């Protein structure tokens, strides 16, 4: 489904990502971990289409990934991306409205259908009872549920999650894990999720990627970028390897 071929990303002389190659099948759930600033978000942006590779290519079903975001790729960021002046329900409806009309407004039966669909999704993410409330009345976990509902109303095949639960308490995070795993299975999504938490990476999904620099020049710290140093199936990792990765990330984070 997705082929990443010798992808490099540079900003000026600063090499961020270096020679990344990987193949991802439909339905995989990949968690990405790596030191702060190593280029995980940049990588997600290239999958989303808001940033482009400096070299190499990313193919989706054999074709270059579209250079603009589209409904195939839904995204949820750590920073809440909700509209404060709209109700919870309208925040989900507007995501559909922008997709359909570019001006973010629906009429008649299209509006009714979008409202029904949005209400169903809010039930699924556990916000059915908050439909008429406003974002500032929601907790952090609830706002992330809302952001997930906004992404899902576009029926994406690929869900990109950039540290979506980083700001949440551990108990709420566990609930969100269950939600994301449930949605992944039910909607047969392909998921890429950035996390700072290696344990979260090993708990969720099917495959863990560790981003790190393979080579370092102390005189020129920006001369080399990060690659995928570990590509591991989730759940079968030796505890020693987990410790090894954990300590290498702790040194750099």
Ligand X SMILES: Nc1ncnc2c1ncn2[C@@H]1O[C@H](COP(=O)(O)OP(=O)(O)OP(=O)(O)O)[C@@H](O)[C@H]1O
Instruction: List interacting residues with ligand X (CB under 6 A).
Output: 11, 16, 34, 36-42
Segments in 153-205 forming alpha helices (H):
170-187, 198-203
- CA torsion sign, 123 to 124 to 130 to 132? negative
Rounded least distance, CB 68 to ligand X, Å? 17
Rounded least distance, CB 138 to ligand X, Å? 24
Residue 42 or 190 having the CB closest to ligand X = 42
Rounded least distance, CB 253 to ligand X, Å? 8
Residue 178 or 217 having the CB closest to ligand X = 217
Write out the two tokens for 3.
């082929």
Rounded least distance, CB 176 to ligand X, Å? 18
Longest CA–CA span in the chain (Å) reads 64
Rounded least distance, CB 250 to ligand X, Å? 14
Helix or strand run (H / E) with residue 250 = helix 239-252
Torsion angle of the four alpha carbons 167, 170, 175, 179, in this order, in degrees rounded to the nearest 10? 50
Residue 42 or 144 having the CB closest to ligand X = 42
Residue 79 or 139 having the CB closest to ligand X = 79
- DSSP-derived pairing of the beta strands 73-77 and 63-64: unpaired
Residue carrying the six token digits 């490099």: 8
DSSP-derived secondary structure for 115-135: HHHHHHHHHHTT-GGGTTS-G
Residue 3 or 197 having the CB closest to ligand X = 197
């Amino acid at each position: 489904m997705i082929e990443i071929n010798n992808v490099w990303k540079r900003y000026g002389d600063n090499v961020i990502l270096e020679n990344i190659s990987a193949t991802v099948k439909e339905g995989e759930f990949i968690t990405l971990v790596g030191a702060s600033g190593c280029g995980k978000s940049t990588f997600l942006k290239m999958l989303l289409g808001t940033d482009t590779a400096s070299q190499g290519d990313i193919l989706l079903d054999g074709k270059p990934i579209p250079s603009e975001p589209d409904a195939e790729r839904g995204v949820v960021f750590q920073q809440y991306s909700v509209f404060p002046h709209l109700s919870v329900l309208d925040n989900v409806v507007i995501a559909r409205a922008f997709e359909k009309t570019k001006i973010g407004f629906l009429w008649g039966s299209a509006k009714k259908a979008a409202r029904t669909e949005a209400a169903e999704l809010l039930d699924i993410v556990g916000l059915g009872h908050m439909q008429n409330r406003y974002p500032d009345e929601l907790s952090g976990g609830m706002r992330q549920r809302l952001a997930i509902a906004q992404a899902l109303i576009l029926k994406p095949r690929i869900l990109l999650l950039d540290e979506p639960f980083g700001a949440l308490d551990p108990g709420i995070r566990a609930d969100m894990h269950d939600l994301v795993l449930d949605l992944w299975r039910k909607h047969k999504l392909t998921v890429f999720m950035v996390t700072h938490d290696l344990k979260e990476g090993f708990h969720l999904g099917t495959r863990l990627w560790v981003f790190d620099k393979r080579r370092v020049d102390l005189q020129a710290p920006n001369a080399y970028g990060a690659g995928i140093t570990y590509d591991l199936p989730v759940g079968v990792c030796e505890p020693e390897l987990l410790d090894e990765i954990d300590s290498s990330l702790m040194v750099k984070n």
